[in-house]
Amino acid sequence: MSHRSPDNAARATGQMVVPAYFHPATHPREWEWLALHPARIRLVVLNLANGPGSQLDGACLPALERVRAAGIAVCGYVDTNYGRRPAAEAIADLRGHLDWYQVDGVFFDRAATGAGQVAHYAGLTGRARDAGARLIALNHGAYPVEAYADHADLLGTFEGSWSSYVELSVPRWVRSRPAGQFFHLLYSVPAPSLTDAWWLAGRRHAGSAYVTDRDGDNPWDGLPAGEIAATARLGRDGTGGMNGARWHPGGGQRPGGAFPRPSCCSS
């Protein structure tokens, strides 16, 4: 098969959920890219120190202001340790994000998947909304039981490598929910397979995704290399010129029909 470029690949499915585990002061170019591409981004996850840190980090504020001014939702990272972390500690982290960085919501990471923890997360998400979170994401990293979908706006139902993603099975209940409620996070994707990864995310009913060729202990420590390079070729808005029309999600479609099925993958 012929492969499309990574920038076109992103347009084969929904928007990006960006795990921005890189500091705005050390990665200003990446944060500038985020602010310039609001139509492509569902949300950005702010993670400064596996949470908000112990005090306000003023170096983050200019970049966050630009991202917010572009209309991009920002969620603060909060670890839940698969339900073992006390809810009070998790909510304290959320309050730090809200007070210092005026985030829109919360990204609860390492969320449990089993039925036995649903009540814990129901309470946690309720407290988060009471604290002021307008957008709640539970990042399970795998498919949970369906009951979690009643308590969050977004569910992260895959986090892993491309080699694992190729063989992923999707539970039947997922397709009874809107695709916009699900996102997938993929790393170690070979450059020739970036387009296939985006296509497959759409086929697997994930309305949002993040696809990167980065790997290692933290594959989320920078944007995919191809994204910034492609933007530099196309123009700052990623459409071929400085003032061109921005991309809007196509739900797996392009003008003239659907993208062809990749030869590598099953749906």
Report the SS3 class of residue 120.
Answer: helix
Instruction: Report the interhelical angle of 225-234 vs 28-36 (nearest 10°).
Output: 60
Between CA 181 and CA 157 the distance in angstroms is 10
What is the value of pTM for the model shown?
A: 0.84
Between CA 12 and CA 198 the distance in angstroms is 6
Per-residue pLDDT of the chain (267 residues; tens, 9 = 90+): 334 444 444 444 579 999 999 999 999 999 999 999 999 999 999 999 999 999 999 999 999 999 999 999 999 999 999 999 999 999 999 999 999 999 999 999 999 999 999 999 999 999 999 999 999 999 999 999 999 999 999 999 999 999 999 999 999 999 999 999 999 999 999 999 999 999 999 999 999 999 999 999 999 999 998 665 555 444 444 433 322 222 222 232 222 222 233 445 544
HEC string of 219-260?
CCCCCCHHHHHHHHHHCCCCCCCCCCCCCCCCCCEECCEECC
Nearest to 128 by CA among 84, 80, 90: 90
Cβ neighbours of 41 (radius 10 Å): 21
HSE-up of residue 215 (Cα within 13 Å, Cβ side): 9
Between CA 255 and CA 189 the distance in angstroms is 26
265 belongs to a structural domain: no
- 72 backbone dihedrals φ, ψ, rounded to 5°: -90, 130
Q: Which residues contact 172 (CB under 8 A, 6 or more apart)?
A: none
1 belongs to a structural domain: no
Between CA 197 and CA 127 the distance in angstroms is 35
HEC string of 57-117?
CHHHHHHHHHHHHCCCEEEEEEECHHHCCCHHHHHHHHHHHHHHHCCCEEEEECCCCCHHH
Between CA 221 and CA 19 the distance in angstroms is 8
Find where tokens 């969050």 sit: 152
Between CA 223 and CA 22 the distance in angstroms is 9
- How many structural domains does the chain have? 1
Given this model, what pLDDT does residue 202 score?
96
267 belongs to a structural domain: no
Given this model, what pLDDT does residue 65 score?
97
264 belongs to a structural domain: no
Between CA 6 and CA 223 the distance in angstroms is 12
97 belongs to a structural domain: yes
Between CA 267 and CA 265 the distance in angstroms is 7
Domain around 254 = 6-258
92 belongs to a structural domain: yes
Report the CATH number that the domain containing residue 172 is assigned in CATH: 3.20.20
263 belongs to a structural domain: no
105 belongs to a structural domain: yes
